């Protein structure tokens, strides 16, 4: 391993530690991760002073983090503090105390830089050109307008879940006062009018919690929430459900952590205001945070491989293949052949181009399970895909790509896929498996494929100079899986 980078994100509600590994080939991965709720901004009040209990809680956690960092023998530490420290009158004194007690140097970042780092986390994990990023933390919310994958404008406003909850929802809930305050705080930023109708990318624990609640309501048995999509009406429906409950009743809501029950209403308020005013159609949940943006900012300035022009999906796939020691040349060939077959056989399979990135993902990652063991490697590949950082796919798309790799009639669909989508998974699996066999059993790289079909036959012609090993060609021609799915016999040659 070339480097180990430790990143501490000291927020108003929680403190997080990520340790990233960067390898000699330029690939990277998270090798350790911790999160603790410390409520650093608790009871700051009008005097804007961090209180002793909150500071002591935080320092105890930071001492633990320091021990973990030392055990990893990290190359570099990147430690940042956000709204709680930034907005407090004793923030510098607190960080001096942290330095004396733990030896950690922590830098306070501006609201603009916090917006930028949130953007870096999003833009490197989600393929989207135009959006409004809303990052709601404990002490502030950052609004970042993105056009053509660049920041057009941003602002950080002290509208955090903890701050708003303590001000308006502690002794007696004043939802009307809360909403009025948010309107006054946000309404002066005219550039937010450019966010009208744009999708929202949501960061932070509050927005992730909305996805978890929705997932539980729909009985979706799948843990991931990254790129979980919530329609605006559904967000408002969940908000109404939570607002009608007491704090104790909220603790019983599936998907809502009990330590967030008292701040969830305040945390949702900025998002609800934006949805109402700007008619945003849906919210896409990002599982990234400041820590990821910190890492990506450092990585691309210092160690990033040449991934210019590649999408977030393509970068994450190639990074994953390298992580697991895969044959990237073979993977690219299988993907290229799969895409060619898909496009030429569209009249036969009747799938829209929306399926192309699912096909591409499955074709690229079908062999990564060999890293675990060659025996049952497809099942290992499915597991690794579902539990790796594959960016740029919605939850359903990720599951479909994984099932393409290792389809089984009895495989769980986690309550997500309908019957037509399951049938399309079978067809995609057939295409990817065919492409894999063609590349594996060829004597040279396949550069040309031509598919022709008639009423009962599909013929695939390859390069004139290309040779497919005889037994492989015979096996493909005798395989009846293609006929079962498409109703036509397949002939190679």
Q: How confident is the model at residue 174 (pLDDT cuts 50, 70, 90)?
A: confident
What average pLDDT does range 132-144 have in this prediction? 96
Residue 14: strand pairing partners: 37
Per-chain mean pLDDT for the chain: 92
The structure tokens 């160690």 sit at 303
| CA atoms 195, 197, 199, 200: torsion sign | positive
Predicted pLDDT at 171: 76
Q: Is the pLDDT reported for residue 225 higher than 90?
A: no
What average pLDDT does range 234-258 have in this prediction? 95
Q: Do strands 282-285 and 228-231 pair parallel, antiparallel, or not at all (unpaired)?
A: antiparallel
Contact 482, 490 (CB under 8 A): yes
Order of strands across the sheet that contains 282-285: 150-157, 141-147, 131-136, 200-203, 282-285, 228-231
pLDDT, tens only, 436-445: 988 887 777 7
Q: Is the pLDDT reported for residue 306 higher than 70?
A: no
Contact 390, 320 (CB under 8 A): yes
Q: How confident is the model at residue 414 (pLDDT cuts 50, 70, 90)?
A: low
Predicted pLDDT at 444: 74
Q: How confident is the model at residue 470 (pLDDT cuts 50, 70, 90)?
A: low
Q: How far is CA 198 from the centre of its chain?
A: 19
pLDDT, tens only, 45-64: 888 999 999 999 999 999 99
Q: Is the pLDDT reported for residue 309 higher than 80?
A: no
The structure tokens 């530690």 sit at 17
pLDDT, tens only, 312-327: 999 999 999 999 999 9
Q: How confident is the model at residue 29 (pLDDT cuts 50, 70, 90)?
A: very high
Main-chain phi, psi angles of 104, to 5 degrees: -90, 130
Tell me how far apart the alpha carbons of residues 164 and 141 are, in angstroms, rounded to a whole number: 11
Predicted pLDDT at 224: 81
Q: Is the pLDDT reported for residue 66 higher than 70?
A: yes
Q: How confident is the model at residue 8 (pLDDT cuts 50, 70, 90)?
A: very high
Predicted pLDDT at 357: 96
Nearest to 476 by CA among 413, 431, 410: 431
Predicted pLDDT at 165: 94
**Residue 462, helix vs strand vs coil:** strand
What average pLDDT does range 332-345 have in this prediction? 96
Predicted pLDDT at 439: 87
Q: Is the pLDDT reported for residue 112 higher than 80?
A: yes
Predicted pLDDT at 479: 77
pLDDT, tens only, 383-409: 999 999 999 999 899 999 999 998 765
Predicted pLDDT at 492: 84
Contact 431, 338 (CB under 8 A): yes
Q: How far is CA 360 from the centre of its chain?
A: 18
Predicted pLDDT at 475: 72
Q: What is the DSSP letter of 73?
A: T
pLDDT, tens only, 260-272: 999 999 999 999 9
Q: Is the pLDDT reported for residue 288 higher than 70?
A: yes
Cβ-proximal residues to 152 (8 Å cutoff; 6+ apart), any chain: 145, 146, 191, 194
- Give me the percent of the chain exceeding a pLDDT of 90: 78
Predicted pLDDT at 283: 97
Domains along the sequence of the chain with CATH: 3-109 (3.30.420.40), 126-287 (3.30.420.150), 312-492 (1.10.3210.10)
């Amino acid at each position: 391993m070339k480097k180990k980078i430790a990143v501490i994100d000291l927020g108003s509600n929680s403190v997080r530690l990520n340790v990233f590994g960067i390898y000699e080939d330029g690939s990277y991965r998270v090798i350790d991760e911790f999160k603790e709720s410390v409520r650093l901004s608790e009871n700051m009040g009008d005097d804007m002073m961090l209180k002793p209990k909150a500071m002591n809680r935080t320092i105890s956690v930071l001492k633990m983090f320091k021990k973990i960092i030392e055990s990893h023998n990290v190359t570099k530490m990147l430690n940042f503090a956000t709204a709680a420290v930034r907005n407090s009158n004793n923030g510098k004194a607190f960080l001096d105390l942290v330095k004396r007690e733990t030896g950690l140097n922590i830098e306070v970042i501006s609201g603009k830089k916090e917006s930028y780092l949130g953007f870096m986390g999003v833009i490197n994990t989600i393929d989207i050109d135009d959006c409004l990023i809303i990052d709601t933390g404990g002490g502030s919310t950052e609004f970042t307008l993105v056009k053509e994958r660049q920041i057009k404008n941003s602002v950080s406003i002290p509208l955090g879940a903890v701050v708003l909850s303590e001000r308006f929802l502690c002794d007696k809930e004043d939802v009307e006062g809360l909403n009025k305050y948010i309107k006054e705080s946000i309404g002066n930023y005219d550039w937010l009018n450019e966010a009208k109708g744009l999708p929202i990318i949501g960061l932070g624990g509050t927005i992730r919690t909305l996805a978890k609640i929705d997932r539980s309501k729909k009985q979706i048995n799948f843990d991931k929430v990254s790129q979980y999509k919530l329609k605006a009406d559904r967000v408002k429906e969940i908000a109404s459900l939570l607002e009608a409950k007491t704090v104790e009743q909220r603790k019983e809501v599936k998907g809502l952590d009990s330590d967030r029950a008292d701040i969830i209403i305040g945390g949702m308020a900025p998002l609800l205001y934006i949805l109402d005013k700007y008619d945003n159609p849906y919210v896409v949940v990002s599982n990234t945070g400041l820590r990821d943006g910190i890492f990506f900012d450092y990585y691309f300035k210092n160690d990033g491989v040449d991934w210019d022009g590649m999408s977030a999906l393509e970068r994450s796939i190639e990074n994953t293949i390298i992580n697991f020691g895969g044959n990237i040349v073979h993977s690219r060939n299988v993907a290229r052949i799969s895409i060619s077959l898909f496009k030429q056989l569209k009249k036969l399979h009747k799938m829209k181009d929306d399926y192309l990135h699912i096909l591409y993902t499955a074709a690229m990652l079908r062999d990564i399970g060999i890293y675990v063991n060659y025996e049952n490697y497809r099942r290992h590949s499915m597991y690794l895909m579902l539990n790796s950082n594959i960016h740029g796919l919605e939850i359903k798309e990720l599951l479909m790509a994984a099932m393409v790799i290792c389809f089984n009639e009895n495989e769980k669909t986690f309550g997500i896929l309908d019957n037509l989508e399951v049938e399309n998974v079978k067809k995609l699996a057939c295409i990817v498996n065919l492409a894999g066999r063609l590349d594996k059993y060829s004597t040279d790289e396949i550069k040309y494929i031509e598919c022709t079909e008639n009423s009962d036959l599909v013929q695939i012609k390859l390069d004139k100079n290309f040779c497919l090993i005889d037994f492989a060609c015979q096996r493909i021609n005798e395989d009846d899986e293609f006929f079962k799915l498409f109703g036509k016999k397949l002939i190679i040659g």
